[in-house]
Amino acid sequence: MTVPKITLNNNVQIPQLGMGVFKMQDHKQFIQAFQWAIEIGYRHFDTAAIYGNEKWLGEAIKKAGIKREELFITSKLWPAEFDNPQKAYENSLKRLGLDYLDLYLIHWPAPDYEQAWQAMEQLYQDHAVRAIGVSNFMIKHLEKLQQQAQIMPAVDQVELHPYLQRPKLLAYLQDNDIAVEAWGPLGQGINGVFAEPILQNLAQKYHKSVAQVILRWHLQRHAIIFPKSIHQERLQQNFDIFDFELSTDDMNAISTLDKNQPNGSDPNDDEHLAQTKLRPVIN
Ligand SMILES: NC(=O)c1ccc[n+]([C@@H]2O[C@H](COP(=O)([O-])OP(=O)(O)OC[C@H]3O[C@@H](n4cnc5c(N)ncnc54)[C@H](OP(=O)(O)O)[C@@H]3O)[C@@H](O)[C@H]2O)c1
């Protein structure tokens, strides 16, 4: 099974499904999960400098012996490093043992993200990275960026799941040709999302798990997803979502679950954004 690809606004193609590695904090588990993922067919991996595991991802990639061009690797610029994105990028590459990234994102819209974006544009113009984008940017941040940007972000990676659907942001991204990436696509498995009756009924109807129904819903909303799991059977399950389709009525039923309820930090919270600039990347 080859994962379908989405064409970004600069014509780079990204596999719509990948694996995220946030909170994979055990080295042995990490290497094992990556190996399972590769065997299953995953080729897209999402990390960040602040996750502290770029080195392990690099080690796992090397071990797998897959051709570099078959992989799609994303990492992120942490706000504490906004003063020198070029250096931060080089450090990420060094830790990953790679000579380019497929996608590099500004992790949060912390103060001075406009200047950081200029440096991201330079990296792109220097052909150091195949695509650049942002993460946790709301409409107001994108509008501000648009006033000065020469290159608009290829993607915006934001928290999205049945309890946080962000219809206005998604419409804005679509209108502006920015692809949407959903972080925490399974709602991180918390707040009772797996026990939600509407989702359980759909799981029964389609002979799939609740997780598969949620992931399929994202695909049909044209979101790029990279659910994280350290378990082989879950990695397999999360990959087996291309053999069924939710009906329009069922998509609409999931829309009714929106509570505008985030699990993670709020991109509108200035205090959180300021904190990201104080927390150093330790690797
Ligand atoms: N840009 C940002 O600010 C940001 C923030 C957070 C995350 N992210 C990215 O988004 C990726 C995914 O988000 P996330 O890891 O926070 O949350 P997630 O993928 O929504 O959920 C992961 C949780 O769900 C469990 N899980 C995975 N597959 C499952 C299945 N089929 N059935 C039941 N439980 C399942 C995992 O447990 P096990 O591992 O024990 O299986 C883990 O506890 C991250 O890894 C990271 O790459 C980005």
Q: What digits encode the pLDDT tens for the residues 96-129?
A: 999 999 999 999 999 999 999 999 999 999 999 9
**What residue owns the CA closest to ligand 1's atom 21?**
188
Active-site annotation, residues: 51
Spatial contact of 144 and 168, defined as CB atoms under 8 Å apart: no
**What residue owns the CA closest to ligand 1's atom 15?**
228
Indicate if the alpha-carbon torsion angle 19, 37, 232, 7 is positive or negative: positive
For residue 187, pLDDT over 90 is answered with: yes
For residue 283, pLDDT over 90 is answered with: no
Spatial contact of 158 and 169, defined as CB atoms under 8 Å apart: yes
CA distances from 279 to 50, 78, 111, 159, 273 (A): 9, 9, 14, 21, 11
Q: Is the CB of 20 under 6 A from ligand 1?
A: yes
Ligand 1 center from residue 78 Cα (angstroms): 19
Burial of 22 (0-12, 13-18, 19+ CB in 10 A): middle
Mean pLDDT of the chain: 97
Ligand 1 center from residue 158 Cα (angstroms): 13
Residue 221 pLDDT: 98
Question: In sequence order, what are the residues at sequence separation of 6 or more whose Cβ sits closer than 8 angstroms to the Cβ of residue 195?
Answer: none
What radius of gyration do the chain's Cα atoms show?
18
Residues in the chain: 283
pLDDT in tens, 200-216: 999 999 999 999 999 99
Residue 1 pLDDT: 82
DSSP sequence for 243-261: S----HHHHHHHHTT----
Ligand 1 center from residue 188 Cα (angstroms): 5
Q: Pull the structure tokens for residue 114.
A: 């406009």
